[in-house]
Structure 1
Amino acid sequence: MESVQQPAAGLARQEPDYDALLRANLERVFNERDPSARLRAVEALFVAQPTMFEPDGIVEGRAAIADVAGALLETFGPGFAFVPDGTARGHHGLGCLRWRAGPGDGTVTVTGADVAAISEGRIARLWVLLDPPAR
């Protein structure tokens, strides 16, 4: 049986606030309609050279991530929004937040989760996982 290694005394690892970071990503990046505010949020929340993995491709860099978020909002219309579904969980630099999204009338058109690798309190890599459509 393998042993579990504990940090040396006085060297306890400081975990990021996964919930605050991943909720800020939804609200300030993926729900932000102003392109300059969205880019400022990406610059604050993501490392200098982030990567986002979507079902249809890989997005490299802060500006490209901001552009993808803007394109999603344009595609789905003015009332469309992402809403956190529960509290983000994480440990050892990996966090996950479930979400739902849809128009302003409360209809849910898509659900999924964001899984993020966190480095020094910022998102380094983000995987966008979509749930299969309901039958």
Structure 2
Amino acid sequence: EKPRTGVAEAYSELRSNNSQNTPNKQKQFSKAMEVEGSSKKMIATQAEMVEAKVPLPYRDQCAHLLIPLNKCRQSELYLPWKCETERHSYEKCEYELVMERMLKMQKIREEEAKLKQQQTKKQPFPLIPKTAQAS
């Protein structure tokens, strides 16, 4: 069985296997939603996110912080000066996820640049001289 990487695939698998919804299946679903290579683990379970009505795009490693934030927002009538600690912790978590993705992408670009350099070193001279190329 191939590993599920996307949220949509994991969600559709969960919906199709709804009759077999055991805690083990929920753990598999949570693992499928984790960003590959991320240091953060999924804390909120699928059942908790469904119960809290967390929209699909927000079901990431920071969902466990979004649930109490949304409850606080509803109880405080969305007043902007309320729920600051919850909002700060959620935004910090999201920021850390974005920074992890940026660092991972930077490493991928550096590896691609190294491979490209190695490939150009294998060819001692270009087939078409640079002076002959129209720029």
Give the TM-score range, shorter chain.
under 0.3
Larger Rg: 2
More helix by share: 2
Richer in strand (by share): 1
Which fold has the larger relative contact order, with Cα–Cα distance below 8 Å and residues 6 or more apart in sequence? Answer: 1
TM-score by length of 1: 0.26
> TM-score, normalised on structure 2?
0.26
